[in-house]
């Protein structure tokens, strides 16, 4: 299991990984921060980005905060680094 520290900006105009923020991966999401929508959408967005099923991702901290910790199962650290690096290079 890997832990990914994320800083989320909900209500953005588009979904994108924009870089880092205080040691966390900064992600902009179009989903609003209402009724857990941004949290669900974050996990779906990361699953698509990491080419894996959403069931392999879970939110372990930060349900009501912009700072979140995501647990990732079934992916090596090298694959995670490669996939996120590809997103940041676009």
Residues 4, 23, 78: CA angle, nearest 5 degrees: 45
Q: What percent of the chain has pLDDT over 70?
A: 98
The predicted model scores a pTM of 0.89
Instruction: Write the pLDDT tens digit of every residue in 9-32.
Output: 999 999 999 988 898 999 999 988
Tell me the CATH architecture of domain 2-88. Answer: 2-Layer Sandwich (3.30)
Sign of CA dihedral 49, 37, 33, 31: positive
**Could you tell me the CA-to-CA distances from 61 to 10, 46, 51, 70, 88 in Å, in that order?**
17, 16, 23, 7, 24
Q: Tell me whether strands 2-9 and 24-28 are parallel, antiparallel or unpaired.
A: parallel
Average pLDDT, stretch 67-82?
93
Average pLDDT, stretch 24-50?
91
């Amino acid at each position: 299991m890997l832990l990914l520290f994320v800083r989320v900006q909900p209500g953005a105009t588009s979904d994108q990984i924009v870089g880092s923020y205080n040691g966390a991966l900064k992600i902009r999401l179009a989903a609003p921060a209402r009724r857990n929508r941004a949290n669900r959408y974050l996990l779906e967005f990361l699953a698509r980005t990491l080419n894996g099923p959403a069931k392999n991702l879970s939110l372990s901290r930060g349900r009501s905060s912009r700072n979140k910790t995501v647990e990732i199962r079934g992916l090596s650290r090298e694959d995670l680094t490669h996939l996120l690096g590809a997103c940041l290079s676009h």
